[in-house]
Amino acid sequence: MSSVRVAVRVRPLNKREKKLSSQRIIQMNGNTVSIHKSSLAGGNEQNEKGKSFTYDFSYDSSDRQSPTFVSQERIFQDLGCDVLKAAFEGFNACVFAYGQTGSGKTHTMMGHEEDRGLIPRVCEGLYREMAQRSKTDVSFHTEVSYLEIYNERVQDLLKKKTLTEGGLLKVREHPKHGPYVENLSKHLVHSHSDMEELIVLGNAHRTTAATGMNDSSSRSHAIFTIMFTQAWLDAELPRETLSKIHLVDLAGSEKADATRTTGIRLKEGANINKSLVTLGSVISALADLGVGEQSTKKQQLFIPYRNSVLTWLLRDSLGGNAVTTMIATISPADLNYMETLSTLRYASRAKNIVNSPTVNEGGSAKVIRELQAEVKRLQQLLEERIQVPEMLNSNRNPLQYAVALTKEWTGKWGETQTEDAVALRTEGSGLIIDCKLPHLINLNEDLLSTGMILYYLKEGRTLLGGNEPSSGQNILLRGPGLLGEHCVLESRAGTVTLLPQGGALCLVNGSVVTDSCQLTQGAIIQLGRGTRLRFNHPAEASQLREKNQKIVGLHWLNAAKRSQPEPRPALLILTEAGLYTLTADSGRLVVFHRLPLLRLKEIRIGLAGQSVRLMGTTEESILGVYTYSQSCTKELCRAILEVSRPGNSRVSQSPLLSGNLMKMSLDWQISVPDLLLDAGLRVCCQFQKSLADLVYLLHCNMDKTAVRLGGVQLLLYTSVAACVNSGAQSERLAQFLLTDTHFGLVREDAVVESATVEPSRPRFHDLTLRRCSDLRCILVHDEDERGCVRLDLILTNARGRGHPESVPKAASPSARVSDSSSLAEVWKLTFRCSAEAACLINHLSNV
């Protein structure tokens, strides 16, 4: 018997809560969590003391600086390690996160690249532990499935929606094994990186949406399941255990008014709440069972597992055969008092659920073990000269039967290892054979041969030979010069070696081999005088692919990210799988940012197409790219989309990728629709919002009596290399802007904007603004070999309006007038595009 373990975790205040000056109402003391009723929730002196609940674990993650701060690693050490322990002992395990929407369930279960949650850490831990145990004679077999329950329907997150109509799957009940999802794909995994890839793929397919409470709210319940089998011979007795690990990220419980939900979100909310209400009823009923009312109530108590898909599928984890942990996630803010209290009550109730986990022994192994035990018992009887039942001498002699079954089991286990290892799939008009085990492909030169043979290599020895079928070869080949026992291929823990037998002629990649030789991916093996085979090692190939991904494009640009928001020169390497940004650090190139393309969620084009903001699933993943030209922006975006969403015709038709971004940006009337692509990838812009921000900043720094806010009209906004003031030598990259009456330089931040953290500076900053009438003359230099044009703007009576130091924030701009100077001021500007320089010259000459 084991009680459900319950942990409570409080997250930091979010942006919304801070904006509303929320009070913290959660205190954690040891494993006791106290919630105080705030004035906002109608608190008064009397109940100010609040309510307290005690759990198995309490985690205060509300303040990173606090000494009591609990990290993702600590949660893994406390809860994840127990999941692994249970799995290796043969128990089922389940961890589910429950809590209000936006309270931190996904953060705790999945986390993000820089701060990984429980699921990726459990997967990593599983492989770490397997590697440590690999020296023992235990074999492991791991399969993974990942599903979501959205609006009470089950969808496979690891498969494109082609299986059944809309990709929806049915839940059925197996008489022996209980509820299961029909046709749910199971993926055999060989390595931690295989598992990570599946997680990323599944997450990309998950249904999320922005709600009032969470910008990226999970609208579905997601169940990531690892089916983990271990098999070994224990003193000649076969042993096999199968553990199912369910890692569940529930959708958030929510009040319709709190999230200001309507339409689709409201319907989702109703379904989410329906499952959670059923989960609550199940927990409640089980808790009643657990607190010692079994005798009176057990018979009468009905557990409503089947009232929702979620509880039906998790039946074994709730009051059944599993070691189960619930993580209740809460907000620290008084705003959410009622929801937090309800979560704490829910969690407290769950503590009373008692499960009865048992080691899940593989069916056939169990029968054999029981038979072996029977044999032992009978042998003992023999030794004691007690009359032995007839059975021992009959055909169904348990000893022979057990030996036969053991043999069969060993064979079957081997098969399960290779089952699913070879699969056929179609791609376009081609047929692809996927084989996860190391294998050989026959490169037959016989012109009349039309088939292709693939020989997979199981763990252990494989004897190859020809011509003499009686030699007991595992792989029988035909060809001149082949001996009966030609060579042995030995596969051990991912390494395959070839050992020639008795003077047989073997060549690997054209060199004669006489001793043991390790084979590597793609090796060409020649046996005898004509038999040629190609060796493939899928695991090694996948590692090599990772290391050696095909480079699709290189871009030298400037880049920034949240933790380092100043643009810096960067090399962007676009590969088939991700975008790598390298920068120089003390003379060495270092990876500044990495964005797997599967995780790419948003491409936002900056004002006039001068920058791009690429965002993955978290704010930390934001990469700001300063392209300084709309053509470069379009080129980069097209390249990324061509790799991540190939062949999508809507990409080329989108005005964002084909239109004039400058024109679209500076015209208040043009509204550019977002482009929504597969797996929730959005290509968008916020031209009008950015334009409004910029115009407001400009207007604040102009002479307000002369220009109305509505009269500020932007004519040009482009990147230039600028050197302002005659003395200064160094050029800096900035945005040049031109209005009817003014021109200026400003810097734009491509990273800024954060749902949870107040940005440290406004989108537009460091503004230097001049009246057009301040201009005395323009010197136009010849175009250089790159087509760039330099203009020297010569200004007299320089009056610094909105000088860099005078513009701390867009919201509170000031118009400090700098010292007048009798010296002329020179702005040396280099325009990348001569048309833009011409536009400036035309306008200023007219003035």
Ligand X SMILES: Nc1ncnc2c1ncn2[C@@H]1O[C@H](COP(=O)(O)OP(=O)(O)OP(=O)(O)O)[C@@H](O)[C@H]1O
Binding-site entries: 99-106
**Residue 253 CB, nearest approach to ligand X (Å):** 8
Choose between 501 and 756: whose C-beta lies nearer to ligand X.
756
Give the end-to-end CA distance of the chain in Å, rounded to a whole number. 87
Contact 583, 589 (CB under 8 A): yes
- Please report the DSSP string for 509-539 in residue order: TTEE--S-EE--TT-EEEETTTEEEEEE-HH
**Residue 623 CB, nearest approach to ligand X (Å):** 18
Choose between 7 and 807: whose C-beta lies nearer to ligand X.
7
Q: Which of residues 208-247 bind ligand X (CB under 6 A)?
A: 214, 216-218
**Residue 620 CB, nearest approach to ligand X (Å):** 9
Which residue of 317, 325, 329, 531 would you call a contact of ligand X, by CB under 6 A? 329
Q: Rg of the chain's alpha carbons, rounded to an integer?
A: 34
**Residue 270 CB, nearest approach to ligand X (Å):** 15
Choose between 575 and 756: whose C-beta lies nearer to ligand X.
756
CA distance linking residue 738 with residue 827, whole number of Å: 14
Q: Where are the beta strands (DSSP E) in 42-138?
A: 51-54, 57-60, 93-99, 111-112, 115-116
Helix 118-133 to helix 81-89 angle, to the nearest 10 degrees? 50
800 binds ligand X (CB under 6 A): no
Q: Which of residues 241-280 bind ligand X (CB under 6 A)?
A: 251-252
**Residue 259 CB, nearest approach to ligand X (Å):** 8
Which residue of 58, 101, 241, 630 would you call a contact of ligand X, by CB under 6 A? 101
Contact 675, 602 (CB under 8 A): no
Residue nearest to ligand X (CB): 252
Choose between 70 and 662: whose C-beta lies nearer to ligand X.
70
Residue type, 317: S
12 binds ligand X (CB under 6 A): yes
Q: Under 8 Å CB-to-CB from 789, ≥6 apart: which residues? A: 780, 781, 783, 830, 831, 834, 837
**Contact range with ligand X by CB under 6 A, out of 101-109, 118-126, 229-237, 593-601:** 101-109
Choose between 92 and 103: whose C-beta lies nearer to ligand X.
103
Contact 625, 559 (CB under 8 A): yes
**Residue 102 CB, nearest approach to ligand X (Å):** 5
**Contact range with ligand X by CB under 6 A, out of 9-17, 340-348, 526-534, 665-673:** 9-17
Choose between 12 and 802: whose C-beta lies nearer to ligand X.
12
**Residue 218 CB, nearest approach to ligand X (Å):** 3
Choose between 101 and 348: whose C-beta lies nearer to ligand X.
101
The backbone torsions φ and ψ at residue 536, rounded to the nearest 5 degrees and listed phi first, read: -120, 135
CA distance linking residue 422 with residue 432, whole number of Å: 10
CA distance linking residue 245 with residue 144, whole number of Å: 10
The backbone torsions φ and ψ at residue 408, rounded to the nearest 5 degrees and listed phi first, read: -60, -40
Which residue of 134, 756, 814, 821 would you call a contact of ligand X, by CB under 6 A? 756
Choose between 333 and 700: whose C-beta lies nearer to ligand X.
333
Number of residues in contact with ligand X under rule CB under 6 A: 20
Q: Under 8 Å CB-to-CB from 819, ≥6 apart: which residues? A: 800
Which residues define the annotated binding site for ATP? 99-106
332 binds ligand X (CB under 6 A): no
DSSP symbol at 801: B
Which residue of 5, 37, 105, 593 would you call a contact of ligand X, by CB under 6 A? 105
Identify how many contiguous H helices and E strands the chain contains and give both numbers. 20, 50
**Contact range with ligand X by CB under 6 A, out of 96-104, 225-233, 433-441, 829-837:** 96-104
Closest by CA to 2, choosing from 385, 469, 321, 458, is 321
Q: 475-477 and 460-466 as β-strands: parallel, antiparallel, unpaired?
A: parallel
Choose between 337 and 736: whose C-beta lies nearer to ligand X.
337
Which residue of 43, 102, 479, 813 would you call a contact of ligand X, by CB under 6 A? 102
**Residue 209 CB, nearest approach to ligand X (Å):** 9
Which residue of 22, 103, 417, 521 would you call a contact of ligand X, by CB under 6 A? 103
**Residue 251 CB, nearest approach to ligand X (Å):** 5
User: Residue 428 class from Cβ within 10 Å (0-12 exposed, 13-18 middle, 19+ buried)?
Assistant: exposed
Choose between 251 and 751: whose C-beta lies nearer to ligand X.
251
How far, CA to CA in Å, does 568 sit from each of 55, 341, 730, 752, 829?
A: 48, 47, 15, 15, 20
**Residue 338 CB, nearest approach to ligand X (Å):** 16
11 binds ligand X (CB under 6 A): yes
**Residue 219 CB, nearest approach to ligand X (Å):** 7
Q: Under 8 Å CB-to-CB from 355, ≥6 apart: which residues? A: 1, 2, 3, 4, 317, 318, 319, 320, 321, 322, 323, 324
Choose between 102 and 465: whose C-beta lies nearer to ligand X.
102
**Residue 754 CB, nearest approach to ligand X (Å):** 10
Choose between 103 and 686: whose C-beta lies nearer to ligand X.
103
Neighbours of 182 (CB within 10 A): 12
**Contact range with ligand X by CB under 6 A, out of 102-110, 159-167, 235-243, 427-435:** 102-110
**Contact range with ligand X by CB under 6 A, out of 104-112, 194-202, 237-245, 453-461:** 104-112
Per 3-state DSSP, the chain is made up of helix, strand and coil in percentages (nearest 5) of 30, 35, 35
99 binds ligand X (CB under 6 A): yes
The half-sphere exposure of 305 on its side-chain side, counting CA atoms within 13 A, is 15
Instruction: Give Cα 754 distance to the centre of its chain.
Output: 20
106 binds ligand X (CB under 6 A): yes
Q: Which of residues 44-83 bind ligand X (CB under 6 A)?
A: 61
340 binds ligand X (CB under 6 A): no
Q: Which residues bind ligand X (CB under 6 A)?
A: 11-12, 14, 61, 99, 101-107, 214, 216-218, 251-252, 329, 756
